[in-house]
Amino acid sequence: AAKEKGRNQFHIFDPGQYAFRKERRNQLMEISRALENEEFELYFQPQLRMADCQVIAFEALIRWNHPEKGLIAPGAFLPAVANSHLEIPLGQWVLKEAIHQMNRWREAGEALAVSINISAPHLMDRKFVDYLEGYLQSHPEVSPGQITLEVLESTALEDTKRASNVLARCQSLGLQVALDDFGTGFSSLTYLRTLPVDVIKIDQSFVRNMLTDANDRAIVESVIFLAQRFDHPVLAEGVETMDHAAALRDMGCNLVQGYGIARPMPSGAVLEWLQHWRRQIESRKEIQQLQA
Ligand code: C2E
Ligand code: MG
Ligand code: MG
Ligand code: MG
């Protein structure tokens, strides 16, 4: 056993590992500082109902406005945050800021719905629902029915009983639940069967090539079929062109999100984009054809 222990200890001093951990530690220190300096910002991407081309909600997507490096996408810093002491503080910031933003839009005359990504450890945090209720109480004009929580299939949801309880409590507050990136995890069907979810989001990795790849198309069709059998609305992500949207509509998918409609944008651009979109519904033929 001692020999084994010695061998394990050798790994701790692996220089590659050491450098990696040191870099992670530095990155976390920087993220902590960024949180204090309010360098994070939520961008928003519209989600569309094809039947009438109306925007049903905006998904909040975090960005880091780094003073030297500029705008950083979540893929470059969320992996460091995952399972660290910053995961819950950052998640709380997102939740609070998204609800704040809903209130600002409401004050400007638009009660927009927002979809918020919640990491599994954040969702499973003992205080999650209490905090959520607190934020909602501090913004009584914001309707909980306008909020969707997007949760990923992941190992932290393995305690499906507890996850189901938490999600059901959120639903009883009036919120909606979406299962994000559906099909990319190992237990998609188990989650579909056990978690109380309202909306299924088909992952963009299946949608992107579905017009040329028969396998991807088969997966997209099957997920739509499955969602319909469970009476869940289904939203396709990664809709990069109007051809994608039209094909999805023909397969029975009625909600879409992607660069083909709009890229994620700063909160300050949303109201103007919405006005522009509403004018386009009236005038642009390829948008009108979606409704057909
Ligand atoms: P997600 O929740 O699946 O969000 C969709 C991602 O796809 C976003 O990337 C969005 O910008 C991108 N996307 C949307 N339409 C298209 C398209 O047509 N083509 C392509 N190629 N990409 C498209 P983003 O903003 O980089 O976020 C990546 C992931 O980071 C998100 O995936 C989500 O899992 C996570 N994330 C982002 N913001 C938050 C947050 O506030 N909290 C948590 N916990 N996770 C977040
Ligand atoms: Mg999402
Ligand atoms: Mg997704
Ligand atoms: Mg994703």
Distance between Cα 205 and ligand 4 center (Å)? 9
Distance between Cα 203 and ligand 3 center (Å)? 5
Q: Answer yes or no: is the C-beta of 154 below 6 A from any ligand 1 atom.
A: no
Task: Identify which ligand lies nearest to the alpha carbon of 238.
Answer: 1
Q: Which long-range contacts (CB under 8 A, 24 or more apart) does 125-128 make?
A: 125/88, 125/91, 128/166
Pairing mode, strands 234-236 and 255-256: parallel
Tell me which residue has its CA closest to atom 25 in ligand 1.
61
Dihedral (CA of 262, 55, 153, 157) sign? positive
| ipTM of the complex as predicted | 0.98
Q: How far apart are CA 277 and CA 287, in angstroms?
A: 10
- The number of C-alpha atoms within 13 Å of 51 and in the hemisphere containing its C-beta is 7
Q: How far apart are CA 82 and CA 118, in angstroms?
A: 12
- Give me the residues near ligand 2 (ion), CB cutoff below 5 Å: 117, 150, 180
- Predicted TM-score (pTM) of the model is 0.94
H-type alpha helices, 128-185: 128-138, 160-172
148: which strand partners? 115, 176
Distance between Cα 234 and ligand 3 center (Å)? 12
Tell me which residue has its CA closest to atom 12 in ligand 1.
238
Tell me which residue has its CA closest to atom 22 in ligand 1.
238
Distance between Cα 129 and ligand 4 center (Å)? 23
Which amino acid type is present at position 5?
K
Distance between Cα 14 and ligand 1 center (Å)? 34
pLDDT by residue for the chain (292 residues), tens digit each? 444 554 555 555 677 888 888 888 899 999 999 999 999 999 999 999 999 999 999 999 999 999 999 999 999 999 999 999 999 999 999 999 999 999 999 999 999 999 999 999 999 999 999 999 999 999 999 999 999 999 998 777 778 899 999 999 999 999 999 999 998 887 788 888 889 999 999 999 999 999 999 999 999 999 999 999 999 999 999 999 999 999 999 999 999 999 999 999 999 999 999 999 999 988 887 788 888 7
58: which strand partners? 46, 114
